[in-house]
Structure 1
């Protein structure tokens, strides 16, 4: 059995796992590892961060500004675009449908999207989940063509139109891991085709509402207001001047979820108590089943990893880690669960800061070692 499946199953027994951190430990870890990494220049954007266990925040911090133009301070209840962290909810939706017998993960994707080119060997649904489809990137050509990396200067549907024109894969499906946003856009389409619902509606009914995540949704209407939204920013080429970032991209699957620190804390409680979800532990065992590749396996930050249903399964400083980072249009998300003591360290920023990801992993590894 895979080590993270074993770790998750072990959480069912309180005797098998040391107690989670207490508030004092969590506060100290945030102050030591996260607060400095979260800080930007004066009057700049920032982050929220927290340490959670059992779906509840033990400690939380906020830094910087949520809106530079209005000088609004960051608060821990702010909502952010969580970028590719959204993929776990697309993949979980597919897993729920598969367990119901409605979706065949071994089927050719043309079973559900018939206007995709007929490749030989075929791309199967599981290849989309595990990033082993061989599909080429469509975002980079669009960025070159339109001069925009945030999906604003072209209709979002163009990405799906381009997918129908692909006639050649980069490698045989199932042979290699290569991260593919397009694959998850197509997986989102499949969930919608099979369920007869939008991805937003399906995830809300089957994931977010059962988990009590009332401030989380696939944002499939770019003009829709988002309560307590923190605006995103990046530095201009001069390295001194902030500019506003946003995205009108509203095709869901590879990203698109808005969420909060508190809601992600609730989500990461699923690893110790999956009972709120249809399928419970059996569903989570499926989600944590890693993909297999005949030639080149999965890696992250230059290190080998296992990759499940949009779940990165890593080892950092000797500690097992479960999660999925995300970044899009100025936002950055780093949420990771540490099964050794049943807790998560979560940071979400309205500016891209790699040091925050490092700080999340370092804080978690340090806490996980302490009995």
Structure 2
């Protein structure tokens, strides 16, 4: 059963009752007390146009999803990691041209050509650390420092840095370590002090088991022959820089609004973060600093990121020229990550905000 957190009378006239029915229909698979759920928020011109929740955050204890529930963001985390790096660049602690051999003593020689900008834009050529972590390696799970140890044992790259785009979780794990080295703070503490608290995101957290807690935690679930089973973690779920933040649609509303301001970064730096990059041969990289970039069917710039990990699928989909954002957080292992973009655009189409 969906929960309407904004009364119909308070909604703009563009959101009709039949639109809400269609929204519920598109998200019907998330409804029900024994079903992993979803938290949806649509923001227009700084206002919460539509906020709805579905299904359960904790099936075993019969806890329905609320807008304050914290979901594991998975790769939506990358925009936060990039922001921390850009803050340190702004303070001249590092530069986008700083290389891995400058940062990590004893790093293999190939790291001399890999810069922070390559890490941010997925053009580093670093090997995927996941290929060296067994799925059964749960005690202990690999963490960011373990990713560095894996990479320092490698003797080559997939390709010359800057010549190809290849999405890299490895790069963002290393970026979290770079934040720690040049700030003198742990990554969770840095986020708390320099991102979350300044924005009033008091319930968001980069989760480290045994160190901090997740308030209002939405647990992850996967489906097998007998139904939904709690399967919240994998062997790589403890890596923070590439996917370890938990947050809610309530907190992410504050994050979204900050992206229009200079509160965390100068507006010129945000513009740089949202800009396409270029490979050595001149080809366009459809990725900024922590954000995917694309044009919609109206030829408007879309800045977005999906997130997919063990039993979580998420998306933040923004059209800054319209001051429009859709945030959808879910705690299940379906659909495929790339299908979250289609789902987001279908939801916005129902609201007649676009003709996709």
Fold match by TM threshold 0.5: yes
Match of 2:316 in 1: 335
Match of 2:130 in 1: 139
Equivalent position to 2:293, from 313, 317, 329: 313
Is 2:232 the partner of 1:246?
yes
Equivalent residues of 1:344, 1:364 under 8 A apart: no
Equivalent position to 1:77, from 20, 43, 68: 68
Match of 1:360 in 2: 344
Aligned pairs for 1:120-135 within 5 A: 122-135=113-126
Match of 1:230 in 2: 218
User: Which digits, 9 at most, give the CA deviation of each residue in 1:47-103, with x for residues without a partner?
Assistant: 110111355422211111111111222222211110100000111111111122111
User: Which digits, 9 at most, give the CA deviation of each residue in 1:135-168, with x for residues without a partner?
Assistant: 11121331xx3446xx666443433321111111
How many angstroms does 1:132 deviate by?
0.6
Task: Provide the rounded CA distance (Å) in 2 between the counterparts of 1:235 and 1:192.
Answer: 37
Is 2:97 the partner of 1:106?
yes
SS of the aligned residue for 1:119 comes to: helix
Task: Provide the rounded CA distance (Å) in 1 between the counterparts of 2:86 and 2:317.
Answer: 21
Task: Provide the rounded CA distance (Å) in 2 between the counterparts of 1:154 and 1:268.
Answer: 31
Equivalent position to 1:198, from 186, 207, 214: 186
Equivalent residues of 2:101, 2:111 under 8 A apart: no
CA distance 1:98–1:85, change in 2 (3 Å): same
Task: Provide the rounded CA distance (Å) in 1 between the counterparts of 2:15 and 2:241.
Answer: 33
How many angstroms does 1:133 deviate by?
0.7
SS of the aligned residue for 2:50 comes to: strand
Equivalent position to 1:275, from 244, 255, 262: 262
Aligned pairs for 1:49-68 within 5 A: 49-68=40-59
Task: Provide the rounded CA distance (Å) in 1 between the counterparts of 2:211 and 2:174.
Answer: 23
CA distance 1:190–1:26, change in 2 (3 Å): farther
How many angstroms does 1:38 deviate by?
5.0
Paired residues in the alignment total: 336
Equivalent residues of 1:129, 1:183 under 8 A apart: yes
Question: Which structure is higher in RCO with an 8 Å CA cutoff and minimum separation 6?
Answer: 1
How many angstroms does 1:345 deviate by?
0.8
Equivalent residues of 2:220, 2:311 under 8 A apart: yes
User: Which digits, 9 at most, give the CA deviation of each residue in 1:16-41, with x for residues without a partner?
Assistant: xxxxx963435665542465235247
Match of 1:255 in 2: 243
CA distance 1:356–1:154, change in 2 (3 Å): closer
CA distance 1:80–1:24, change in 2 (3 Å): farther
CA distance 1:203–1:40, change in 2 (3 Å): closer
Is 2:300 the partner of 1:324?
no
Is 2:27 the partner of 1:37?
yes
Equivalent residues of 1:121, 1:172 under 8 A apart: no
How many angstroms does 1:277 deviate by?
2.0
Where does the alignment leave 5 or more consecutive residues of structure 2 unmatched? Answer: 1-9
How many angstroms does 1:111 deviate by?
1.0
Equivalent residues of 1:83, 1:328 under 8 A apart: yes
How many angstroms does 1:220 deviate by?
2.9
Task: Provide the rounded CA distance (Å) in 2 between the counterparts of 1:23 and 1:353.
Answer: 31
